[in-house]
Chains A and B, each alone.
Chain A
């Protein structure tokens, strides 16, 4: 029998970026807020201290800051005809666990997804006609427009301390920014990061080819910064221990040094760590949540926390899992294409090529997380004619280089032996002299890419694991093959000594790391028949349940997701504070 605690006004599940934003924004209402985080507490001064934190084996290989899959994981398969098997080790993606979530160990890349992504179905139908969208592609508008989201992108960028250069200030195209971005009201809070030598060569080659390179916007602070909440962010030291690590210089805009400590200053906001929510509880009508059930994983005790409002703010996949095991919204069925929870799961596609320059050293270890020189000519550029290759979406292209940590980073030209003296000589020769060009491509929803509960495998509490059915489909193949051609052309123009073959990813494997940009499964929209959440990310079925995060994305672009994840969280906080709390019920 669970121990029942006195009720609170609001329960927030998960203390990462969005849980932190909601707790901080709703704290001033004076309502009693409890945040339940299934992982450990984290303090940057101890958990991110040097030299402890600069341990590639512990943090980058053994994934010390990530979800522990011995306790809870997902089953995976490429197609409904296969038997899904558990992801027994982390690989393809790395969900966070503990205070800060994945926001503690992210790289920092922060984009504004443009209006033509948010109104994707309308825009493609308008430009290319209804027949251009394949029948098995469940493409849908988000229910929010670019101009509506602009002020919320702005808030997130100023809180996280994003370094970048505007490309479009109130309609005026800015030199050296991304000219294809939507208009923004003001500059980034910080100037862009410095560019490395690889970026300079890429920049020149891209310009010569008529493209529009710019320095990628990211939460690695180019200068010391104080955010609007008075939180101090240090200057990035280009240490090369960023993604998968916490930042000892407090130079990475993370929730741990911004929204979370601000939220917790408020005495009516309480954080309980090691509190693993297993279920959102409903009343007898099934139309209202009454609170949550959680396990104190330090003692094993099961606890019921009643609440008037439940905000699900865990990782994208955990959000969908919690909705499925709690019966919030109708599960999606790919056979009939009915139901909403689990549909439109997407990931990110891509292509890459490695270049080698015999006479140059790029010092790969002098680097930082979101660093890169990018171009958006084949992605956010709406004038790029997709009909030529038939795809929907696109790919943005980057020369990055976040680190030179040598357990994982040892580029050698194709044909090099895997071991022996010849291998060692090649590693020593090329370690400093390689440059990778990568393309990050959209993934459009497909009828048979979805999430549901696995019939066989269970987690530590005996709950069914979530089953992921996913592969890159025809549309993604078109995008990545096109992108591979583009990066090959840029690579040649950079005049390397040697260059590999541009390689598109055509099938999804759970083994090599690709990105932690999992999206969809609890998508937002304007029609309860096709979306689990309304345009404020409120459950259509249980109006006192809101769901944050990339689970709300009806499709995935080539961009990193955190910009809209942060913006939608701020927008949700405004909607709850200004509308919902004044008149609880479904927001229209």
Chain B
């Protein structure tokens, strides 16, 4: 991720990938509907470095979020809008350590209706599952997930989400995918104060006006099928 700032970051060093990310923001096309304000042309860069992910894990998570949220005419890549940063901060914070999660045993597998039943905090699940995912990809595709082709990544994620993969140690792949997917959505759409949704890019993409919402007048004006548009406001803008 530091490649954007330093020119030769950990991504190239570890993965040998080509220079990525530098131009991503600059190529962002105006996306908003005609009656909305134009989005910021270039998102500010995510902060360099991770608090939870080890280098190999960072490669996995960046590849995963960039596959699920690719750079296109709507947004820069998932990593460039801060989704990997968001997940990293969530995992090293209280949520990742098991806040509001009942962790006493015993631990039978249970039915789908009984929900999450693993004895793992989110951070522990990510740690074990990313290792297992790379091991699965090496066996299946001959390389770690981040080096897989787009088609291989798609196959892996589809199978993970469809419950077809059991990861090393018997971890149910779907439990990991469910958490990863939810976290990707949070990193994309949560308030930017958490490190994702950089420059409110996802809010601009859909036309969500954010948190400054006194609509007692708007409800009278926009109740006939017309679209209400406003430049989104986040918590930091009001603080």
Contact = CB atoms under 8 A, between A and B. Distances in A.
Contact of B208 (A88, A241, A404): A404
Interface in A220-260: 235-241
Interface residues of B, number: 64
Given A70-B100, A196-B223, A363-B228, A431 B216 contact: no
A77 interface: yes
B207 A431 contact: yes
Contacts of A55: 191, 193, 211, 235
Contacts of B74: 421, 424-425, 428
B213 A241 contact: yes
Nearest to A508: B113
Interface in B101-140: 101-104, 106, 108, 110-117
Nearest to A407: B189
Nearest to B184: A419
Contacts of A70: 98-103
Interface in A87-117: 87-91
A47 interface: no
A237 to B, nearest CB: 5
Given A237-B216, A509-B113, A88 B206 contact: no
Interface string A417-454: 01111001101100110000000000000000000000
A197 interface: yes
Interface stretch (B17-25, B52-60, B63-71): B63-71
Contacts of B209: 365
A407 B193 CA distance: 14
B207 A432 contact: yes
A456 to B, nearest CB: 7
A526 interface: no
B34 interface: no
A86 B115 CA distance: 9
Contacts of B214: 237, 239
Contact of A418 (B110, B181, B213, B220): B181
Residues of A contacting B: mostly: loop
B205 A427 contact: yes
Nearest to B106: A456
A369 to B, nearest CB: 13
Interface string B190-206: 11011000000011011
Contact of A91 (B115, B211, B219): B115
Contacts of A359: 225
A428 B213 contact: no
Contacts of A421: 70, 72, 74
A362 B218 CA distance: 12
A69 B186 CA distance: 21
A8 interface: no
A57 B190 contact: yes
Interface in A46-79: 50-52, 54-57, 61-63, 68-70, 73, 76-78
A516 interface: no
B161 to A, nearest CB: 7
A428 B226 contact: no
Contact of B191 (A56, A87, A410): A56
Interface in B31-78: 31, 67-70, 72, 74-75
B239 interface: yes
Nearest to B110: A85
Interface in B159-210: 161, 181, 184-186, 189-191, 193-194, 202-203, 205-209
A406 interface: yes
Contacts of B117: 85, 88
Nearest to A362: B225
A419 B160 CA distance: 13
B216 A88 contact: no
Contacts of A90: 100
Interface in A196-219: 196-197, 200
A581 interface: no
A69 B191 contact: no
Contacts of B67: 419-420
B100 A68 contact: yes
A173 interface: no
Interface in A342-367: 357, 359-363, 365-366
A197 B223 contact: yes
Given A89-B101, A237-B215, 17 more contacts: A51-B238, A56-B190, A62-B95, A62-B99, A83-B110, A88-B102, A88-B103, A89-B102, A194-B220, A237-B216, A238-B219, A361-B226, A363-B222, A366-B215, A410-B206, A420-B67, A432-B206
Interface of A: 50-52, 54-57, 61-63, 68-70, 73, 76-78, 82-83, 85-91, 194-197, 200, 235-241, 357, 359-363, 365-366, 404-407, 410, 418-421, 424-425, 427-428, 431-432, 456-458, 507-511
23 contacts: A52-B235, A55-B193, A62-B99, A69-B100, A69-B101, A70-B99, A77-B114, A82-B111, A86-B102, A88-B102, A88-B116, A89-B100, A89-B101, A90-B100, A237-B214, A238-B218, A365-B215, A406-B189, A406-B208, A418-B161, A424-B69, A427-B205, A432-B227
**A-B pairs, 7 with minimum CB distance:** A361-B227, A54-B211, A419-B68, A238-B215, A51-B238, A431-B206, A360-B225
